[in-house]
Amino acid sequence: MVRLSDLPEYEREHLLVKCVPPLGPPAWVEKAKPLKDSRIALITTAGLHFRDDEAFEFADASFRAISGDEDAGNLVMSHSSANFDRSGFQEDVNLVFPIDRFKELVANKVIGSLASIHYSFMGAGLLPEVYEKTVRSLAGMLKRDKIDAVFLTPV
């Protein structure tokens, strides 16, 4: 494990600025229906996208849509952190985007259905408030798709 004192000053400052208080009380809601009847979307912060999509920039608050019909093995990662070990992702995309496991849950009738579109953000570099406008837009899209719950894989 690297100590803060071992990092270059710019990296140390970058990490220390992220020591912020909690965003507030969790916005928990009562589940509206049983999981076996629920529609689920996956969201990751692994910076995933398909090869033909625009890559993520370092300070990028946008998201990329990931079709559930596409082969997840064709996803690429443009996560910008040099400290991020990509070897697990390269072996199995399900480590950061468990789409195949969720398809199995649908097949086994554990969950009702999956969204046709899932989403990926770039998780490195930005403070939470920078994402607010983008996330509010995405929340509207999820509501229109009648998503009951989101499974988030923070990377």
Give the Å distances, CA to CA, from 14 to 3, 7, 22, 61.
14, 10, 18, 17
16 occurs within a structural domain: no
Query: CA 122, CA 76: separation in Å to the nearest integer?
Result: 12
0.95 cut: is pTM over it?
no
Closest CA to 71 of 103, 26, 39, 45: 103
Structure tokens of 88?
A: 């697990």
71 occurs within a structural domain: yes
20 occurs within a structural domain: no
- Convert the pLDDT of each residue in 4-57 to its tens digit: 888 889 888 877 887 778 777 877 778 779 999 999 999 998 899 999 999 988
Give the Å distances, CA to CA, from 99 to 12, 55, 152.
35, 21, 12
How many independent structural domains does the chain possess? 1
- Convert the pLDDT of each residue in 67-116 to its tens digit: 999 998 899 888 766 666 767 777 888 988 999 999 999 999 999 999 99
